[in-house]
Amino acid sequence: MVGAASVGIGLTTVPQAVASETCTSTTGARVCFETYGDHFFVYDTSEDGHRAAVKYYWDGSGGNYYCEKTDGAGGTPKDCNRDLPENVRVYFRADVCEGPCNREGAVVRTSAWDDALNVN
């Protein structure tokens, strides 16, 4: 029989990366950041006609960035798959907006800032 004898030849076990998720929320929006893969998940948690969004930046980014869920409450979250630098601290918050969140005065409610070390 062949098979079992070939298992140990030159094979090494590499541990799988583990995703770490950090979340923050305010009435009407919940945002989770998954460090492995650089994903923000934006949940619209209220049928109020407003947009749910994540506002984020990282050390050295030089500005703020947004990703919005525009299709209303319920359903699946908006998956904002980003390509962020590795080994930087990412700061983010959940926003509820009247129209596009990057517009002056559009933010209706916001959560506190949260952060996570992006290590993927």
Residue 120's pLDDT is what?
A: 63
* For the chain, domain boundaries: 18-118
CA distances from residue 114 to 1, 56, 70, 74 in whole angstroms, order as listed: 57, 9, 22, 24
Residue 36's pLDDT is what?
A: 85
Residue 35's pLDDT is what?
A: 87
Q: Specify the CATH number for 18-118; select among 2.40.128, 1.10.287, 2.60.40, 2.60.120.
A: 2.60.40
Residues 108, 51: Cα–Cα separation, whole Å: 10
pLDDT tens series, the chain, 120 aa: 444 444 445 444 444 455 689 999 999 999 999 988 899 999 999 999 999 999 999 999 999 999 999 999 988 999 999 999 999 999 999 999 999 999 999 999 999 999 999 876
SS (H, E, C) the chain: CCCHHHCCCCCCCCCCCCCCEEEEEECCEEEEEECCCCEEEEEECCCCCCEEEEEEEECCCCCCEEEEECCCCCCCCEEEECCCCCCEEEEEEEEEECCCCCCCCCEEEECCCEEEEECC
